[in-house]
Amino acid sequence: MHSDVFRFSGDQVSTILAKGKERTLLRGNAVIQSDNTRITAKEIEIYGKDFQFAKCSGEVTAWDSEKKILITCESLTYDRVEKVIVASGNAYMEDRKNEMIVRGERLENRDKEDLAIIQIGVRILKKDLSARAEYVRYKRDVDILELSGLPQVFWKKDQYRAARITLNLKTDEITLAGDVEGSIVSKPEKKTDGE
């Protein structure tokens, strides 16, 4: 097991050292860095044993350099031991490995499970694909998106609706379950000179 180097900085730093109430508040250009994760915000409060937890607010940006994931939001909590980020308020995730953007009101990124859960007004954008739903589970290790809550998928010019939709990003396979609807736009056949 390697030791995690945890760094933090800010324009203004105040610390409470009372045993059991240890807290550090970073204000202005606040930055925390833990392993591959770097978080910046207007204000970050770090607390808990060995500063395990961080509460971030104001123009929050989190970057995972190993997984190439960028998250921005209004407020964020981070558990650096469990490697869980919970972003809320205009949560935006850019998965640069899969060239995909996901937006929602709340986003939970569980690094150890390679899982992201996005909720409320979710929008997904990827080349040739856009989708919307109220609840999305994104299993990054297997490149699977599970959509529920009035999900709709737009693939090129085709449109799909169902109670649940599963997308395989590796194979471009779409699985629809319950109350399935779809509309597929076929390309017009080219006329030959003889017609």
pTM score of the predicted model: 0.86
One digit per residue, pLDDT tens: the chain, 195 residues? 445 678 999 999 998 877 777 899 999 999 999 888 999 999 999 998 888 999 999 999 999 999 899 999 999 999 999 999 999 999 999 999 889 999 999 999 998 999 999 999 999 999 888 999 999 999 998 999 999 999 999 988 889 899 999 999 888 888 998 877 777 776 665 555 554
* CA distances for 112 relative to 61, 79, 131, angstroms: 20, 12, 26
Domains and CATH numbers, the chain: 6-183 (2.60.450.10)
Nearest to 5 by CA among 85, 112, 80, 111: 80
